Amino acid sequence: MDQATLDRQYSPSSRVPSLAAYLTLYERRSEAARRDHPVRAGLRYGPHPAELLDYFPGRQDPGPGRGRPPLLVFVHGGNWQALGRAESAFPAPPLLRAGAAVAVVEYGLAPGTGLNAMAGMVRRAVGRLLDRAEELGFAPDRLYLCGTSAGAQLAAMALLPGPYEEPDGGPDVSGRIAGAVLLSGMYDLEPVRLSYVNEALRLDEAAARRNSPLHRLPERLPPVVMARGGNETEEYVRQHERMVAALRGRAEVAEVVAERRDHFDLPGDLGVRGTELGDTVLGLLGLGPERGGTNG
């Protein structure tokens, strides 16, 4: 495809009437989440100024065999260049109502922060949360990692075992993640490198390969929910389908294609009962119906 077509394919906002409207909605709903629910805001998990997270405690379940709640760790999107904690707490309320705890991770953004460092930050956030599980009140064997768009790539990188080539690669947390939810992600970064997105990322061919989880999957992985909206560009659909195919035989995979959702409103279904994504994720967390979708 020519450059203009490639750039459009990696611009998911080309499929929606107004990106600004979604960003405003994210911010407004995130403000409401912090207003209406207890939150420990701005917990530091590393030395970089952006290494902060917001932790929403889940309810303790006194029922037999339950005890501490699971934790869903949410990694926002934004083409690795935008958004943060302030706009990314909007998925928390339905998950909290279902009985989960939620952590919303902030990380450094391009061009000031490289992709290797971002991936290390997400791993460091997971490791720090697990280290503080008893204090924070969630079950350490029930930590689930969720990322959307660019955040899905970073979350997928955290599933890969170390060692890492870079000194800022963070701890190896791959064996401590109970499951993952990957929404509308990019898992092979070579076409991303050739698009306008690379003006900020500055990836060379080797760095794109190194940060492409599609090419680095281990033999076994925890359960994974793979989801995308029905209204995505063809390249996002292709990336999703290739990752689903690569995961089969390595993990229990639940695939969700939410036909009435697009790249930006899909994360709003996280934890929402009665939606395919919400029910599938709650099933993964042990808080709702059995996992749906296509398993392999």
Q: Residue 166: pLDDT above 50?
A: yes
Q: Is residue 183 part of a domain?
A: yes
> What does the pLDDT read at residue 178?
98
| Nearest Cα to Cα of residue 32 among 88, 90, 77 | 90
CATH of the domain at 199: 3.40.50.1820
| Nearest Cα to Cα of residue 129 among 60, 53, 36 | 53
Q: Is residue 124 part of a domain?
A: yes
Q: Residue 42: pLDDT above 80?
A: yes
> pLDDT tens-digit profile of 183-234?
999 999 999 999 999 999 999 999 999 999 999 999 999 999 999 999 999 9
> pLDDT tens-digit profile of 256-275?
999 999 999 999 999 999 99
> What does the pLDDT read at residue 162?
86
Q: Is residue 289 part of a domain?
A: no
- Residue 55's DSSP bridge partners are 40, 103
Q: Residue 292: pLDDT above 60?
A: no
Q: How far, in Å, CA of 120 to CA of 278, rounded?
A: 28
> pLDDT tens-digit profile of 50-87?
999 999 999 876 554 568 999 999 999 999 999 999 99
- Mean pLDDT for the stretch of residues 130-140: 97
Q: How crowded is residue 18: how many other Cβ atoms within 10 Å of its Cβ?
A: 10
Q: Is residue 293 part of a domain?
A: no
Asked whether the beta carbons of 178 and 143 are under 8 A apart, the reply is yes
* Token duo for residue 167: 């000194």
Q: Is residue 291 part of a domain?
A: no
> What does the pLDDT read at residue 295?
37
The enclosing H or E element of 225 equals strand 224-231
> What does the pLDDT read at residue 66?
60
Q: Residue 286: pLDDT above 60?
A: yes
The enclosing H or E element of 261 equals strand 253-262
* Mean of per-residue pLDDT scores for the chain: 94
- Residue 143's DSSP bridge partners are 71
Q: Is residue 294 part of a domain?
A: no
Domain of 217, in residue numbers: 3-284
* pLDDT-based confidence at residue 291 (cuts at 50, 70, 90): very low
Q: Is residue 214 part of a domain?
A: yes
Give the number of domains in the chain: 1
Q: Is residue 295 part of a domain?
A: no
**Stated pTM of the model:** 0.95
Measured over the CA atoms of residue 183, residue 188, residue 193 and residue 196, the dihedral's sign is negative
